[in-house]
Amino acid sequence: MSGLFLNMIKEEWRIHSTMFGSLNFALFPVLICAIGFMGTFLIPLIQNTLTLTDLVILIHANYLMLGLMVGAFGLLGNEVMNRRFGQASLLAYSARTLPLTPRYIFLTFVLKDTLYYFFLWILPLGAGFFIASLVIGIDLMIPLRLLVTLTFSFLSGMSCIFFLSTVYERSARLLGIILVLSGLIGSFYTIYYGINPASLFPALLLFTTFNVKNLFLTLLTLIIPFIAALLLYSPDTRNTTKIYENKMKPLIHRLRFIPYPSLMVKDMLDLWRSGSIIGQVIFSFFVPLVVIWFFLSLLDEYISILQLLFTFAMITGIIASTMYTWITMFDSLSIYTVLPVDVPVVIKSKITLFSLLQVIPALFISGICLFAGEGAYLFPVLVLTLSVSFYVLAVMIWLTGLSPSVLVYSARVMVLYFLLIGLILAIFSSLTMINPWSGIGAVLLFIPAYEFIKLGFRRWDRVEQGIF
């Protein structure tokens, strides 16, 4: 395993460090460590508004979500590679050229992803917390325990997504049944026992009561879906030459009224034919958001349902903005550079398609709003969600142009991104706390959004799009 494993790690390092410079990339864990370190000093300050228990819940929820998103990104990303390059991706390629089973290579791939993110995200945060605990004099068992349970949180997310996505590969219907069943079980618990299912999350239980039984339980919930995923995994080795009907021509005709309709039609066909629209909506949007909703509602002893709803609206907006990555990930270098189109034209067509996709978060947040019994505030909630989504989209366009995946790997870009988002989150959570209707004011975010997009056009138009 070690040879293949090392090669995968090397390839990952090479891709990321050549894209963003090794220094910027190597600084990334340092940045996370610093956040953990400084965050620890804030704990006594915020204890009045947020108890330590709540903070622990939030951090675990964050890492669970990170696990879910990384799992979805890694797996779907890998799917994308497989589908986009046919049999040319590393995974499919090694399966054919090396004397190894596809399942074995898949296992190596998963291990690589896990280790990679462990060193990039989990260990640095734990280390920062640990160092700060030394300084402040917090019992050192707490940061150590947290490191263990956060790792488990993250792994639970990954293993859950691996399981669900391999099920999806086998049969979309089975996935539907599983999702509906777990929804029913969740609601059953909530209604009959009055227990929020999120409070039964093993990693969280393990943190509050650190004993062998809970450790065993946690490991079990990690390993079972993972093994099931491994057993279900079947690599796509079909060599298809399916015939497709020409959709470009009729769609261009129907979209005559927008400039360069063909650019948008291409992105629509990419999303649809790669199968990623359904996969992404389920794994990168729906599942993480539902999970975070249950975790947030654990906090409702301290914050009102309305406050919860507005916080959730902003989170939904942020997650919705990542749809920009769905429609940029299929582009490759030469598609645009051989044609007389410039970067702003391409970005504009992406924004148009992005706007269409916003139907999904709009429907979702409306559903949640009604579910929470706050239908009266549907309008401000909806405005807040969509405004945040477009604002974050604009920030992404300004920071990364047509390659939003840069975000995850460059310390400098990441800091700016978080600062710009944190700023408006702070403003609008305070405002909506005072008066829920101020959520409508979020529509003003379209002004900075417009400016960011304009800046982005100027910035990326004449830059060499090495990773276009």
Partner 1 sequence: MEYVIITHNLTKFYGNLIAVNSVNLSVRKGSLFGLLGPNGSGKTTIIKMLTGQILPSSGKGDVLGIDVVSDPIKVRTLVGIIPEQETPPSFLTVMEYLDFVAEIRKIPEIEKKAAWWFNYLDFEDKKHVLCKDLSRGTRQKLMLTQAFIHEPELALIDEPLINFDPIMQAKVKEFFVSYVQKNNTLFLSTHLLETAEEICSDIAILHKGDLLYSGSMSKILEENRHLSEFFLSLVRR
| Residue 266 binding partner 1, by CB under 8 A | yes
| Residue 337 binding partner 1, by CB under 8 A | yes
| Residue 15 binding partner 1, by CB under 8 A | no
In the structure encoding, which two tokens stand for residue 146, read together?
């947290």
| Residue 341 binding partner 1, by CB under 8 A | yes
| Residue 401 binding partner 1, by CB under 8 A | no
SS3 call for 309: helix
Stretch binding partner 1 (CB under 8 A), from 29-37, 157-165, 234-242, 300-308: 234-242
Classify residue 193 by its DSSP letter: I
For 194, left (φ over 0), alpha (ψ -120 to 50), or beta? left
Contact of 283 with 73, CB cutoff 8 Å:
no
- In whole angstroms, what is the distance from residue 263 CA to residue 268 CA? 9
One residue of 270, 279, 316, 432 binding partner 1 per CB under 8 A: 270
Q: What is the DSSP string of 285-338?
A: IIHHHHHHHHHHHGGGGTS-HHHHHHHHHHHHHHHHHTHHHHTTTT--HHHHHT
- Per-residue binding letters, 86-115, with partner 1 (x by CB under 8 A): x-----------------------------
Stretch binding partner 1 (CB under 8 A), from 5-13, 263-271, 391-399, 446-454: 263-271
CB of 446 to partner 1, least distance (A): 29
- In whole angstroms, what is the distance from residue 295 CA to residue 106 CA? 31
Phi (first) and psi of residue 225, to 5 degrees: -60, -35
Stretch binding partner 1 (CB under 8 A), from 53-61, 117-125, 265-273, 408-416: 265-273
Stretch binding partner 1 (CB under 8 A), from 24-32, 119-127, 149-157, 259-267: 259-267
Give Cβ neighbours of residue 215 (< 8 Å, ≥ 6 apart). Answer: 206
CB of 410 to partner 1, least distance (A): 18
| Residue 459 binding partner 1, by CB under 8 A | no
Q: What is the DSSP string of 351-386?
A: HHHHHHHTHHHHHHHHHHHHHTT-GGGHHHHHHHHH
Classify residue 462 by its DSSP letter: T
Of residues 120 and 251, the one with the C-beta less far from partner 1: 251
HSE at residue 400, side-chain half, CA atoms within 13 A, is 27
| Residue 19 binding partner 1, by CB under 8 A | no
| Residue 334 binding partner 1, by CB under 8 A | yes
| Residue 18 binding partner 1, by CB under 8 A | no
- In whole angstroms, what is the distance from residue 99 CA to residue 107 CA? 15
Strands (E), 118-158: none
One residue of 125, 206, 263, 298 binding partner 1 per CB under 8 A: 263
Of residues 14 and 247, the one with the C-beta less far from partner 1: 247
In the structure encoding, which two tokens stand for residue 123, read together?
């260990």
| Residue 209 binding partner 1, by CB under 8 A | no
Of residues 45 and 242, the one with the C-beta less far from partner 1: 242
The residues of the shown chain that bind partner 1, judged by CB under 8 A, are: 83-86, 240-249, 252, 260-263, 265-266, 269-270, 272-274, 330, 332-335, 337-342, 462, 464-465
